[in-house]
Every structure is written in C-alpha cells, then in structure tokens.
Amino acid sequence: MKGRRIWEIGGFVAGGILILFGAVAIYMGVDGYTTVQDSLKDEQVFFSTAEDEDAATDQYASEWYGEQVTTGEQARAFAKIMREHQLEGTEGLTYAQMGRYIAADNPDDPAGTSDEEAALTDEQGSPISNPARQSWVTAVAITTALNTSYMAEQLSIFGLVVGVALLLTGIGLVILAFAVFGREPATEAQKAPVSTQPATG
C-alpha cells in the first residue's frame, strides 16, 4: 500500500513538473516570437514596390511588394534580395574572391588586387581599398542579422511546439497517475462473492 502511494505521488509530481516546464516553454516561445517581430518593425525595412521592376524581389518576395519586413520569413527573403543585389554590383564576385585594393591597371574591375605594388594609390602613396570588397562587409552584416531573425523566429516556434507537447504530456501523466494509482483498493468484503443459494435449516 505504501509503495502504491509513492508511485501515485511520483506520478503527480512528474506530471506537475512537465506542466510547469511546458507553460514556461510556451511563454518563452511567445515572447521570443513577438520580440523578433517587434525588432524587425523598429528597423523600418520595406520591400521595393512593383513599379521598381526588381528581378530579385520578383524571385523571392513578389507577394510582399511595398510591405514592411515584420516576420522572420520576410527577413530571410530580404536577405536573399540583398545578396542578389550585392552580386550584381560586384559582377558575381563574393568578398573572398576580390582583392583588398583597387587595381591600378583596371580601376573599374571589382576583382581588384591584393598586391600593394599593383594597387592604385592615393596622394600619400597608400594603396586605396577596394570599395566593392568593402561593400560586402556591410551586406554580410545586414543579411546575417536578417537571417538570424528568421532563425530566432523558427526557434521560438519550435519552443512553442515543445511547450505544448510537454504540457499535454504532463496533463496525461497526472490523469494516468490518478486513474491507475488513485483508485481505492477493493476490500476483502467487496472481493468476497455473494452467495445466491437459499439458506437451508
């Protein structure tokens, strides 16, 4: 009887802990989700309009023309658009594919050069940094922040799902503990069969 009571209490405690963890996970998921969206709204980022005829927006965000970026999915789409624009500006070259300086023999080439002797110099004779390469630093910083917003929103949704699962599991465990261990055991009198034979004298 004592062991049965311990199992019953253990079931209720374990279920209560799971319910508590589930509620906390749901709260954190909702809080994270709303924080991501509020932060994106504060940045005042908008997609280009249909009149701009932007091929990258057509490809990644045609359903959001002229709208403000307010969700992780939209932030991810905007990051893809920015990358396409950046590649167009550098003729398909990424940061690692370009030299540190402007090439003296071809200043308009975004590939530039990393050779200081072949670099275009300023009035003081110092090599001039490659602006096409520098623009990638800004682009990567912004696109990384946008992609992080998307990841954070997805993690918040995952937290919500886990929270609901924990909550339901905890409730189920409490119900199970009550159903299995919470019943009063039958007494000997209740277990004894009732005779249906008539009494004889």
What confidence tens digit (pLDDT) does each residue in 102-157 have? 999 999 999 999 999 999 998 888 999 999 999 999 999 999 999 999 999 999 99
Determine the Cα–Cα distance for residues 172 and 184; give it in Å rounded to an integer.
20
What pLDDT sits at residue 175?
87
Q: 155 CB contacts (<8 Å, ≥6 apart)?
A: 32
Q: How confident is the model at residue 174 (pLDDT cuts 50, 70, 90)?
A: confident
With 70 as the cut, is the pLDDT of residue 182 above it?
no
Mean pLDDT over each residue of the chain, to the nearest integer: 87
Q: Which of 46, 119, 112 is nearest to 82 (CA)?
A: 46
More confident residue, 123 or 5: 123
What pLDDT sits at residue 10?
80
Q: What is the mean pLDDT of residues 38-52?
A: 92
Determine the Cα–Cα distance for residues 110 and 94; give it in Å rounded to an integer.
10
Q: How confident is the model at residue 189 (pLDDT cuts 50, 70, 90)?
A: very low
pTM: 0.78
